[in-house]
Chain A
Amino acid sequence: MRTLRTLLIGTLLRAKHLSRSPFEVALALVIPLVQATLAVYLFRAGDEPHRLLEAAVGAGLMGVWASVLTGSGGAIQHQRFEGTLEIIMLTPRHPVLVVLPLTAATAVTGCYALVATLLWGRIVYGIPIDLAHPLAFGAATLACIAGLGMFGLLLASTFVLMRNANALANPLDYPIWLLSGMLVPISVLPAWTAPIAAVLPTTWGARALREATVGGPVWPSIGICLALGTVCLVLGAVLLKSFERRARAAATLALA
């Protein structure tokens, strides 16, 4: 209970901090419009107007993922620059409790992109927002935040352990969009991608959102998304502990 509270409050305050960055705000205003446009033209060209809403949802999720990837990949490095890494590592709790709010917050602010994409789609292109399961859509959105936040934690801890791993962050944008079926249905991708897609929390988050939009079981996908997220969390926790130990030995918690 205490742990959940810490995670929740940590995430919300962290999201508040992020949402006040001029850079983030500018991105958040522009990207969803681009996403919505992308969705519309991709699918108009493909002559499938009935799938416009589905496409807009997928595009919105791409926005969430972009936010998690850029935000989480550099989350720890960023704290180091702000001079707060030492202070948060000095808390008498497991480092996961400190780092997960950082990455979950990037998913929360990313969700704004999801909502904004749908709104832009509605306003500019007249895509009606009639969801098959509105309630389940809300649940799927929360599952996406949690799942992507936990995935983000794994990225954060991996990137901080590997030198210059941030260079990896940007090229990861597109493969995950594609692999998780945010952009096009997984069924059109080559068969070898299926096993990779199956272990990504993003795939199941995207699927849950799609099922809530056009109709489908939703809840199993939510469950799998959260389960895979938990696996990321456990792996991330192990990596973070090892990072902490190494950083204390190598004096890398602060800038030299």
Chain B
Amino acid sequence: MAEVKIIDLKANVLEDNDILAEKTRARLRGERTFLLNLMSAPGSGKTTTLTRLIEEIKDDLKIAVMEADIDSDVDAKRIIDAGADAIQLHTGGMCHLDADMTTQGLDSIRSRRYDLVVLENVGNLVCPAEFDTGATKNAMILSVPEGDDKPLKYPLMFQVADVVIINKIDVMPYFDFDMEKAKANIEMRHPGIEVIPICAKTGEGIDKLAAWIRKEFEKICNEEEA
């Protein structure tokens, strides 16, 4: 009888994704395109924030948005109405985007033509943090109704984020949300990270987010010259 042999592999299952993500970042540097991966729980206000941001910066930066909507093109339409280009990514019902789906999206919009491409990731706080998409920077939105203890429950999301946007500050009086506590919890998970409170509904604070985008975009432009 044949004997079963145990072969030790210890192989990282996500290695191919990590390699492709690095390649994508190098490509984007060459194209002088800034790719922002925007993550949040469902309904935290990703699309509303993007429409506001587009209105604020579309005169300075050429923008496209890649929407990972599961089965509707509602969000893509809202982006186009706001004045940017948009495409719908085919996620096949997946709960996150990976580097492969992202590169396919970049190819089909021809990312070279844009200064800023935003990836609206699938609404989910768990696995989008696991899969490196190849984005230049990661942003996450925490909305007030979700609570100020989210950073404690989803540490990885706050660790991979480069900026945290706190949205729906208009409803703070109705929720038990302590802004200082939220900021302290975020600082704990990711010391030194920038936190930008906004109200996407009214546009309050969007100028701060736009300033962050402009600053980061400038960095990649200077990097290329260096």
A and B pair up:
no
Query: B-side interface residues toward A, CB under 8 Å?
Result: none
